[in-house]
């Protein structure tokens, strides 16, 4: 049987047994115990759920993901993460493994963030296309003919896969993302973190697709520069 979960907009394969909705609702107590006391109080030993350490790791990743986008609203970020975890816990019987739980929770989060941006009409206060000085910084890399200035062309970064396994890379990546101004970060986050198409971003933020590409190009170029300075600099030390 397949069930559409409205919150995550996902279709979940629940296996051979139909979902018993009243039975799910009676699990409110379990849910409360979980929130207050953690999984140790869970009265259902067969539940496919995470150990405390795994849950803490997942929560950390979820919170980082949300905080990158809801910078000034720490309380809201916590709430969104908690709601998503509770929803995942409530539906835990539907998952066949932890990877599936993780994918599912992240998709809930993405939808919640999109809704948050939409319903609160929280547009960044800065102009979305205003140049914050990035343009000059990027222009300095090139000569009059648009070729890389000597010594400034991008260098090899080594093995990208091993960078992604490196804790220090992630710390720098977060610093660089948080260094973006709010307006740029919004457009970049909607595209690269929430995975929205540029057409939808333009519509929501009331900007032309061309402007959207300009902002995204600027954001990527600046992020790349930041990583090159901080990460590659750190690596060669």
The smaller minimum CB distance to another protein, of residues 27 and 110, is found at 110
The smaller minimum CB distance to another protein, of residues 30 and 198, is found at 198
Smallest gap from residue 142 Cβ to another protein (A): 5
Smallest gap from residue 18 Cβ to another protein (A): 29
Smallest gap from residue 160 Cβ to another protein (A): 4
Give the interface with another protein as residue ranges (CB under 8 A). Answer: 61-62, 64-65, 68, 102-103, 105-107, 109-110, 142, 145-148, 153-157, 160, 163-164, 169-170, 173, 191-195, 198, 209, 212-213, 216-217, 220-221, 223-224, 227-228
Smallest gap from residue 52 Cβ to another protein (A): 20
The smaller minimum CB distance to another protein, of residues 30 and 177, is found at 177
Q: CB within 8 A of 1, min separation 6: which ones?
A: 14, 15, 16, 17, 18, 19
173 in Cβ contact with 227 (< 8 Å)? yes
Smallest gap from residue 196 Cβ to another protein (A): 10
The smaller minimum CB distance to another protein, of residues 15 and 195, is found at 195
The smaller minimum CB distance to another protein, of residues 27 and 218, is found at 218
């Amino acid at each position: 049987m397949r069930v559409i979960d409205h919150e995550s907009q996902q279709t979940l394969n629940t296996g051979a047994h139909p979902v018993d909705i009243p039975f799910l609702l009676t699990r409110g107590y379990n849910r409360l115990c979980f929130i207050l006391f953690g999984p140790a109080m869970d009265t259902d030993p067969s539940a496919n759920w995470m150990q405390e350490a795994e849950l803490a790791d997942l929560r950390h990743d979820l919170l980082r993901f949300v905080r990158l986008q809801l910078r000034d609203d720490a309380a809201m970020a916590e709430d969104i993460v908690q709601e998503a975890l509770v929803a995942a816990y409530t539906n835990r019987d539907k998952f066949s493994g932890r990877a599936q739980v993780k994918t599912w929770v992240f998709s809930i989060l993405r939808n919640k963030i999109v809704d948050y941006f939409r319903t609160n009409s929280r547009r960044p206060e800065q102009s979305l296309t205003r140049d914050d000085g990035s343009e000059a910084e990027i222009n300095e890399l090139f000569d009059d003919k648009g070729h890389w200035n000597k010594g400034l062309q991008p260098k090899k970064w080594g093995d990208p896969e091993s960078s992604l396994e490196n804790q220090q890379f992630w710390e720098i990546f977060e610093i660089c993302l948080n260094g973006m101004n709010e307006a740029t970060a919004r457009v970049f986050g909607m595209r690269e973190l929430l995975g929205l198409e540029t057409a939808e971003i333009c519509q929501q933020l009331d900007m032309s697709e061309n402007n959207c590409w300009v902002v995204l190009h600027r954001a990527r170029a600046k992020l790349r520069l930041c990583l090159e300075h901080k990460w590659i600099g750190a690596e060669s030390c």
